[in-house]
Amino acid sequence: MTTTTHILGYPRIGEHRELKFALEQYWRGEIEQSELQHVGAQLRHKNWQTQSDAGLSFSTVGDFAWYDHVLTTTLLLGHVPKRHSAGFPDLDTLFRVGRGQSQADCGCSGSAASDMTKWFNTNYHYIVPEFSQDDSFEVSWPQLFEEVNEAVKAGHKVKPVLLGPVSYLYLGKEVEQGFDRLTLLPRLLTAYQAILAKLAKQGVEWVQIDEPILSLQLEDQWLDSFKLAYQVIQGDVKLLLTTYFDSVDDSLDKILSLPVNGLHIDLVSSPNQLEHVAARLPDTWVLSAGVINGRNVWRADLNKQLAALQPVKQRLGDRLWVASSCSLLHSPVNLELEKTLPSDTRSWFAFAKQKAQEVALLGKALDGDKEALDACHAYSQPILERKTNQKVNKPQVQLRVNSITKTFAERCAPYAERASYQADVLGLPLLPTTTIGSFPQTDEIRTQRSAFRAGQLSEADYTQALKGHIADAVKRQEALDLDVLVHGEAERNDMVEYFAENLAGFQTTKFGWVQSYGSRCVKPAIVVADIEREKPITVEWSTYAQSLTSKQMKGMLTGPVTILCWTFPREDISRKEIAQQLAFALRDEVSDLQDAGINIIQIDEPAIREGLPLKKRDHQTYLDWAVESFKISAASAKPETQIHTHMCYSEFNEIIDSVAALDADVITIETSRSNMELLKAFEEFNYPNEIGPGVYDIHSPNIPTEEWIQGLLRKAAERVPTERLWANPDCGLKTRSWEETEAALTNLVSAAKSIRKEWAEKA
């Protein structure tokens, strides 16, 4: 009755972001593809060995991706967008789909990257599959099969992971009008049959087939499609149908009718589903219990998990498996590297390596191993003792949150009245031009930051260096003739981590990196206690930048919901309460900025859409407190202070009411990759305030031409009144070079001036 243990996936970036650096070296032409492949192989073997050393029953294979696992599935299926599909797909094909291809790269007209959006309610981005009615699918990319061979040869017992066919279709989009991508399912299933047959020939017994959309409230036609899909692909290997991020309550009846061999459920996001699912589980199925949180960094209370699982173990015996709730892709790699964390907080955490060990230890304890039972008890003590830690709960913060009334979240004047004040104070032209906040984080900036943190550069010298970078950014913007400037954020390592470092209640790490997309990694801070602002954070930098120019300088803040979503939250209080604490801290910062003469303040909320619960019935409760938190942070602004917010890579249709309810004076959004498609939501809703639709895709190396930007602005003007339009990039420019940035912004400003003149002549 040995309990099978496994994880759903492991971080692929490496403990020291080895994959990130190798990818970027390859893209810059500094290393050969063979060197990149070598780095990937080393990481895979280390990941498999980590799982084996932890004592897990399987090493998960197929979770490694050069850019994104959905994009890897696209190549596996031979489903490359036509603009990138010349010849047999290879690694460079994959990068072209993910990053786009510039004219300089190919000596041609260039090809746009595929759309990118958030993976459910996480901060991970995936490359959206594109579907046309004449699409065909054929196994064309050998990575999965090669990695199975690699792992087996290295002595590991493997469990491949594969994104399921229905989820793959659901997560994509039609690029042609007049057809439903679900009609492609029979063709797609033929390719899945071939994949599973090939894995069977390699000796694979179990395949983890991920169908995360089963945790959504699916439309009937999508839910019904699972029956056909799994009738077709069953038979060659055992299938562990895998769900995560929410319960399967709405789809359980359909799931139980499928010809699979087991079901994985996420018992972190939805612990109450355990008894219901276990009671109805078919006699021949295994139940994989996802009890170790793959999306947070807190040490598990293994005693609590034992108590929940022991009755199920008695009922199911060895048909109960123990697992992580979801892939550990969303966790940092290894806590052992964090040598400088305070000992009292370090004992509260577990990263991916430690989570694999937690899964294995819990499995042994369920089998009655006395040593493991004792170890579980000892392991759980620090997280239990934390509950009574007096540094965690602060009465002054809780008093402020408990005092919230409706008036705390309201501006002192309606938008129409504010717009009149702002027009007088700001004096901006029609179609104002601006950027989203950050400018290139150069090697010089990063070197100086590292030297300062290592004690090799004094605080005075570091401050002087930062002022030099700010002055340079202001000078460049004035030369470009942008209308609203930003200070460039040279002092910030990350839009969330920077605030976490300057607010009480957070713990930051040195090596807690998590992949966001491609080579882009973020290092989320950890909310360890009640949050408060002890002193101003951004005022000094913004006022210094304003002193260098007569143009309007925009203050830059990260919103409460985004800080919440892009950090690892506490698990002992609600997300709503954390957001409210953050809102009050930012409210104080807004007050200080405007008192210092900053008349435009941007409070970024790019994560507000991704924070939505997966079940639609839970959306409104979340949106109510998310909107309230943003409004609390902005409500101290005077009528003449213009509040901006920014959102990127979000589908706005279903939350447009709430976006409008934020009552920001100006909202900037991503629209260039979607060719202004996202503006449809704002047009149909008749969004009342000002909008800056992004006209420069900063996630691609492509430089948009002036003509291209003009075309996008004209499209935008068909949907938004010209007097309420702004021109700006999709997102911050932190990851681009100055050469790319200045070339693109030159075209943006020139295009805006041309369109401005065009509109004036028509008036």
DSSP for 199-210, please give it: HHHTT--EEEEE
State yes or no: 521 annotated in a binding site.
yes
Q: How far apart are CA 32 and CA 46, in angstroms?
A: 22
| Residue among 69, 469, 487, 699 flagged as catalytic | 699
- Whether residue 376 is annotated as binding a ligand: the answer is no
Residue 20 marked in a binding site: yes
Q: Are 376 and 306 in contact (CB under 8 A)?
A: yes
Q: Binding site annotation covers 686?
A: no
CA geometry: angle 698, 14, 607, nearest 5 deg: 40
Residues 6+ apart with CB under 8 A from 269: 244, 245, 246, 247, 325
> Which of 641, 155, 655, 710 shows the shortest CA–CA distance to 418?
641
Alpha-carbon distance of 73 to 383, in angstroms, equals 39
Is 69 annotated as catalytic?
no
706 is in an annotated binding site: no
648 is in an annotated binding site: yes
610 is in an annotated binding site: yes
105 is in an annotated binding site: no
DSSP secondary structure code for residue 122 in this structure: S
- Give backbone dihedrals phi and psi of 59, rounded to 5 degrees, phi first: -105, 125
Q: Is 493 annotated as a binding residue?
A: no
Q: Give residue 356's identity as a one-letter amino acid code.
A: A
Q: Which amino acid is at 623?
A: L
CA 690-496-457 angle, 5° bins: 125
Nearest-angstrom CA–CA distance, 598 and 633: 16
CA separation for the pair 424, 254 (Å, rounded): 60
Tell me whether residue 304 is annotated as binding. no
- Asked if residue 377 belongs to a known ligand binding site, the reply is no
Ligand-binding annotation for 187, yes or no, is no
**Continuous segment of H or E residues that includes residue 751:** helix 738-762
Query: Would strands 125-127 and 514-517 be described as parallel, antiparallel, or unpaired?
Result: unpaired
Instruction: Give the separation between CA 470 and CA 619, rounded to whole angstroms.
Output: 41
Chain centroid to Cα 715, Å, comes to 28
Count CB neighbours of 496 within 10 A: 25
Cα 481-738-493 angle, rounded to 5 deg:
110
CB proximity list for 37: less than 8 A, separation 6 or greater: none
List Cβ neighbours of 36 (8 Å cut-off, separation of 6 or more): 22, 23, 25, 26, 91
219 is in an annotated binding site: no
437 is in an annotated binding site: yes
Which residue do the tokens 């991704």 mark? 610
The reply, when asked if residue 118 is annotated as ligand binding, is yes
CA–CA separation, 146 vs 143, rounded Å? Answer: 5
Which residues make up each annotated binding site?
17-20, 118, 123, 436-438, 489, 520-521, 566, 604, 610, 646, 648, 670, 731
Q: Which residues are catalytic?
A: 699
Binding residues for 5-methyltetrahydropteroyltri-L-glutamate: 17-20, 118, 123, 520-521, 566, 610
Known binding residues for L-methionine are: 436-438, 489, 604
> Annotated binding site for Zn(2+), which residues?
646, 648, 670, 731
Residues of each annotated binding site for L-homocysteine: 436-438, 489, 604
